[in-house]
Structure 1
Amino acid sequence: MSAAHPAVLTVTPNPSIDRTVELAVLTRGEVHRATGASVEAGGKGVNVARALALHGARAAALLPCGGVDGDRLVAMLAPQGVEVVPVAIGGTIRTNTTVVEADGTTTKLNEPGPLLSGEELESLLRTVRARLTVGPRWLASSGSLPPGAPADLHARLVHLARESGTATAVDTSGAALAAAVEAGPDVVKPNLEELAELVARELTTVGDVRTAAAELRARGCGDVLVSLGEAGALLATAEGTWWAGGSPLVPRSTVGAGDCTLAGYLAAEGPAPRRLAQAVAWGRAAVLLPGSTVPGPEQTRTGAEGVRVVENPDPDTPVKDLQR
């Protein structure tokens, strides 16, 4: 693979401009004065690419791009070391607004995004197919789907990558996640709520999560990386199951933390416990930063302090008690 080619190609079908407003306390119906605000290029795959690039990895972000905000998103990514692969669309990309309170409570207002025509979706798939020919190590397909996109879009991208011999990672939810699981990605990264919805039952203990992850593996998935929020993450692979986490944190913003967790996993090398530890370190570093700011090497080194990895965690432990 040429040095000019990205090691990770991310695909974000529904990118955004992410605006974050910080408040002491959000009270419905009242006028508030913000204590801080930030604007970042957003979308799950975009965040993955940003985090990787900040750590010196070669990353490209492929995304539909239209309107003034689409041009703005590309301009925002240019100085961050991310190669942008825009797919022209007639609509305008969305703006998502997040309100973060001083205690870390996060309220998100996500717009639906532009309606994509059949021709625009085909252009997206053609562009992905062309970019796969340069041989990235990973295709990471992430995020919600815009109006007009079929529920199996992430699954189609997994199939395209498999044809080219590229490993795949998927991070999405709902029907899109269900379809992607059936395509058998090499890595799937649901959070606890998304995994519970996928298996149609409540997951309250570590054993519940392990069983649900094993079901995904039985359906053809490779590694299952389950984000547990403040309780860390659980990883199930062909070699075993591990949990990783650290001491409790007071988050400044949780937006994009799961994306940084996935980026840390994709950037890591070595045995599964080491990859999991890095994933959790990157996610922990992200929650201490404003908005959807991604952590750099100094922050992730700090995030790694105190992270512990446990093989075969006690199945009877409630998820909420994992850090106690």
Structure 2
Amino acid sequence: MRLVTLTLNPAIDQTVTLDALTPGSVHRARSVWADAGGKGVNVACCLADWGLPVAATGVLGQDNAAPFAQLLAAKGIDDRFVWIPGETRTNLKLLDASTGDTTDINLPGLEFGPSTVEAVRAVLADLTGAGDLAVLAGSLPRSLGPDTYARLTAELRRRGACVVLDASGPALAAALAAGRDRLPDAIKPNRHELEEWAGRPLPALADVLDAARALQRGGIALVCVSLGAEGALFVSSEGALRALPPPTRVASTVGAGDALVAGLVAGLHDRLDLPDLARRALAFAAGKLSRTGANLPGRAEIEALAGEIRVERVS
């Protein structure tokens, strides 16, 4: 099984740590660092840290592509990005050290036309076939229609690939409105993204479970809903589980959701049953919380974390 991630709207994430974030005030930064990222890039990095061969593709601005090329080379990731003129966006993340909360300021991404999309499609076609696994992750540039992921998912499914989608808003809605044989195999919305799709608040776990079950019955084989500090909900034909993370020292929450997706992919790669897949996904997320950037601790630490994760059946 080959693994590939797609990031159409990557970013250099600049994280600024503040003693406390007070709107309207002047702040002195405690520290600042930058990571080449984007959801698909982060997923690929975590998979590489776990020891799985993975390719990464998408679109980069050639004027500042070097940090991405360096990161992918350092992680041993097969770099299949398409470079175009311009700069990849920089996103600002303000980390409030007093609360651990992160405030994101995401800038618009590169805009590109059909020829660039065709180049990416050609790379995906080269990298994926029957039994392979593709992760489509992150926001879409403004120049692309909300049906972009839906169309790419349909093409990948026709080639026999398994598709994991981590998207939100109109892009997620369009992908979920496709015909049953063109749906992604797995999705990972958070509670807010699931509420957007459902068109209503989902305040209780039972509400989240009902919405996730509706998606699973509609043809999504695996629905994982991330619930932050409350863990995650997993729904498949094997049933419904809630996984609760162990207490974790938090260095940075940036990329924790991407690590969760990477854990899902690693579990699907190893064909784990639902309880063990849930433990691995939560262990990836918990392990990443102790690191800055899209980095996991060693395999032994992840496996130890997985052993601490409580999994319970829900109904």
Q: What does residue 96 of structure 1 align with?
A: 91
Structure 2 distance, partners of 1:231, 1:248, is 11
Matched, 1:230 2:220: no
Q: CA deviation at 1:294?
A: 4.0
Question: Residue 195 of structure 1 aligns to which amino acid in structure 2?
Answer: L
Conserved in 1, the CA contact under 8 Å of 2:259 and 2:294? no
Q: Which residues of structure 2 form unaligned runs of 5+?
A: none
> Structure 1: 5+ residue runs without aligned partners?
2-6, 314-324
Indicate the SS of the match to 1:35.
strand
Q: Aligned Cα RMSD in Å?
A: 1.8
- Map 1:24-43 → 2, pairs under 5 A: 24-43=19-38
Distance in 1, matches of 2:54 and 2:84, equals 22
Residue 75 (str. 1) matches residue 70 (str. 2): yes
Query: Deviations for 1:274-314, whole angstroms, at most 9, x for unmatched residues?
Result: 0011101111121222244444425423533521000125x
Whether 1:127 and 2:123 are equivalent positions in the alignment is yes
1:147 aligns with 2:146: no
> CA separation in 1, counterparts of 2:296 and 2:29?
21
Query: Aligned partner of 1:116: which letter?
Result: F
Tell me if structure 1 keeps the 8 A contact 2:255–2:294. Answer: yes
1:125 deviates by: 1.7
| 1:285 matched to 2:280 | no
Counterpart contact for 2:46–2:296, Cα < 8 Å: yes
CA distance in structure 1 between the partners assigned to 2:289 and 2:46 by the alignment: 13
Q: What TM-score, normalized to structure 1?
A: 0.89
Are the equivalent residues in 2 in contact too, given 1:188–1:224 (CA < 8 A)?
yes
Cα offset, 1:251, TM superposition:
2.9
SS of 2:134 mapped into structure 1: strand
Task: Give 2:142's aligned amino acid.
Answer: P
User: Match for 1:254: what amino acid?
Assistant: T
The 8 Å contact of residues 50 and 296 in structure 2, kept in 1 or not, is answered as: no
Amino acid at match of 1:82: I
1:260 maps to amino acid: A
Contact 1:142 1:170 in 2 (8 A): yes
145-154 vs 241-250, which moves further: 241-250
**Contact 1:38–1:291 at 8 Å: present in 2 too?**
no
Q: Secondary structure at the match of 1:108?
A: strand
Which residue of 2 is the match for residue 195 of structure 1?
194
Determine helix, strand or coil for the equivalent of 2:29: coil
Q: Distance in 2 between matches of 1:132 and 1:300?
A: 28
Alpha-carbon distance in structure 1 between the residues aligned to 2:251 and 2:310: 22
User: Which of 5, 9, 19 in structure 1 is aligned with 2:4?
Assistant: 9
1:137-161 alpha-carbon deviations (Å, 9 max, x no partner)? 2100000001211111111221121
The answer to whether the 8 A contact 1:230-1:249 is kept is: no
Note if 1:62 corresponds to 2:60: no
- 1:126 CA displacement: 2.2
Identity of aligned residues (%): 37
TM-score, scaled relative to structure 2: 0.92
CA distance in 1, matches of 2:59, 2:131: 20
Rounded Cα–Cα distance in structure 2 between residues aligned with 1:169 and 1:77:
21
Q: Could you list the per-position Cα deviations for residues 62-116 of structure 1 after superposition, in whole angstroms to 9, with x for gaps in the alignment?
A: 0102232123311222111111111132332111111111121111111110111
1:307 aligns to 2:314 (yes or no) = no
**Is residue 156 from structure 1 mapped to residue 158 from structure 2 by the alignment?**
no
1:246, CA displacement in angstroms? 2.7
- Residue 107 (structure 1) aligned with residue 99 (structure 2): no
Q: Say if 2:187 and 2:223, in contact at 8 Å, map to a contact too.
A: yes
